[in-house]
Structure 1
Amino acid sequence: MSIASLARIQPFKGLYIGGALIGLLVGGLGHNPTAKALETGKGVNGVWIGAVPELITGDIKKWAEVAGVESASIPGYWQNKAGEEIAMGEAPKPGEKVLLIFHGGAYMGLSAHPSSSVSVIPRDIMKRTASVRRTFSVEYRLAAPDNVSPFPTQLIDGLAGYNYLVRTVGFKPEDVIIVGDSAGANLALALTRYLLTYADSLNLGLPGALVLLSPWADLTPSHNSPGSSMYTNVRSDFLLPPPEKEPNFTSKCLAGPHGAEFLSNVYISPACKENTDVSFKGFPRSIIVVGGAETLIDSIRTLEGRLLRDLGKEKVETYVAKDAFHDFIGFSFFEPERTEACIAIGKWIDAL
Structure 2
Amino acid sequence: MAINKVVMAALKAISYRDIDVKENYKMHRNFVNITRKHYLKPFYKTRDDEVYTDNYKIPVRIFSPEEEGNYPCLLFFHGGGWVTGNIDSYNKVCTNMSKLTCHNVISVDYRLAPEYPFPAALEDCYEVAKNLLKNKGSKYKDITIIGDSAGGNLAAALSLLARDKKEFKISRQILIYPSTYNDHSGTSPFPSIHENGTDYLLTSKRISDYTQLYISNKNDLRNPYFAPLLAEDLTNQPKTLIITAEYCPLRDEGEAYGKRLREAGNYTEIYRIKDGLHGFFALPPRFPQVKLCYDIINRFLCEVK
TM-score of the pair, normalised by structure 1:
0.73
* 1:269-323 residue CA offsets vs partner (Å, 9 max, x unmatched): 122xxx3x622211111101110111111212221221111134xx111121111
Equivalent residue for 1:175, pick from 137, 142, 166: 142
Give, in angstroms, the shift of residue 80 of structure 1: 0.8
Give 1:255 shift. 1.6
Q: What is aligned with 1:66?
A: none
Q: Distance in 1 between matches of 2:67 and 2:195?
A: 45
Aligned partner of 1:292 in structure 2 is 246
User: Is 2:227 the counterpart of 1:269?
Assistant: yes
Q: Secondary structure at the match of 2:101?
A: coil
Task: Report the counterpart of residue 121 of structure 1 in structure 2.
Answer: 93
Greater Cα offset, 322-331 or 3-12: 3-12
Contact persistence 2:186–2:194 (CA under 8 A): no
Match of residue 28 from structure 1: 34
**Residues 1:172 and 1:6: Cα distance change in structure 2 (over 3 Å):** farther
- The correspondence for 1:18, drawn from 6, 18, 21, is 21
Query: Residues 297, 165 of structure 1: CA spacing in aligned structure 2 closer, same or farther, 3 A cutoff?
Result: same
Q: Is the 8 A contact 1:106 1:182 kept in 2?
A: yes
Q: Where do 1:205-220 residues align within 5 Å? A: 205-220=168-183
Contact 1:293 1:325 survives alignment (8 Å)? yes
1:3 equivalent in alignment to 2:4: yes
Q: Is the CA contact 2:73–2:141 (under 8 Å) kept in the aligned structure 1?
A: no
Shift of 1:159: 1.6
Asked whether the equivalents of residues 229 and 294 of structure 1 are also in contact (C-alpha less than 8 Å), the reply is yes
Task: Measure how far apart 1:49 and its partner are.
Answer: 1.1
Q: Structure 1 residues 182, 160: CA separation in 2 closer, same or farther (over 3 Å shift)?
A: same
More deviation, 284-293/12-21: 12-21
Whole-Å Cα distance in 2 between the matches of residues 16 and 328 of structure 1?
21
When the two chains are superposed, the root-mean-square deviation of aligned CA atoms in Å is 3.4
Question: Structure 1 residues 208, 79: closer, same or farther in 2, change over 3 A?
Answer: same
2:270 counterpart letter in structure 1: T
Asked whether the equivalents of residues 233 and 294 of structure 1 are also in contact (C-alpha less than 8 Å), the reply is yes
Is the CA contact (8 Å cut-off) linking 2:118 and 2:215 kept in structure 1?
yes
Count of paired positions: 296
- 1:3 maps to a residue whose letter is N
2:297 corresponds to: 345
Flag structure 1 segments of 5+ consecutive residues without an equivalent.
34-38, 54-70, 87-92
Q: Does the CA-based 8 Å contact 1:16-1:239 persist in structure 2?
A: no
Structure 1: which 4+ aligned runs deviate by more than 6 Å?
none
Matched, 1:156 2:123: yes
Give the letter aligned to residue 220 of structure 2.
F
Alignment check: 8 A CA contact 1:270 1:278 kept: no
After TM superposition, give the deviation of residue 123 of structure 1 in Å.
Answer: 2.9
In the alignment, the residues of structure 2 paired with residue 235 and residue 223 of structure 1 have an alpha-carbon distance, to the nearest angstrom, of 12
| Identity in percent | 23
Aligned mate of 1:84, from 67, 73, 88: 67
Q: Deviations over 1:311-338 (max 9, x none)?
A: 34xx111121111111311133881111
Cα distance in 2 between the residues matched to 1:72 and 1:299: 34
What do the CA deviations read for 1:175-217 (whole angstroms, capped 9, x no partner)? 1100100000111111111111010xx2xx2122101001011
- Which amino acid is the alignment partner of residue 136 of structure 1? I
After the TM superposition, which residues 304-319 of structure 1 pair with which residues of structure 2 at under 5 Å, given as runs? 304-312=258-266, 315-319=267-271
The structure-2 alpha-carbon separation of the partners of 1:212 and 1:296, relative to structure 1 and needing over 3 Å to count, comes to same
**1:8-157 counterparts in 2 under 5 A?**
9=11, 13=15, 14=17, 17-18=20-21, 22=28, 26-28=32-34, 44-51=46-53, 53=54, 71-81=55-65, 83-85=66-68, 93=70, 96-113=71-88, 116=89, 118-130=90-102, 132=103, 134-143=104-113, 147-157=114-124
Which whole-Å CA distance do the structure 2 matches of 1:267 and 1:123 have between them? 29
Give, as a single letter, the amino acid of the residue that structure 2 aligns with 1:84.
E
Kept in 2: contact 1:16–1:240 (CA 8 A): no
Give, in whole Å, the separation in 1 of the partners of 2:136 and 2:91.
22
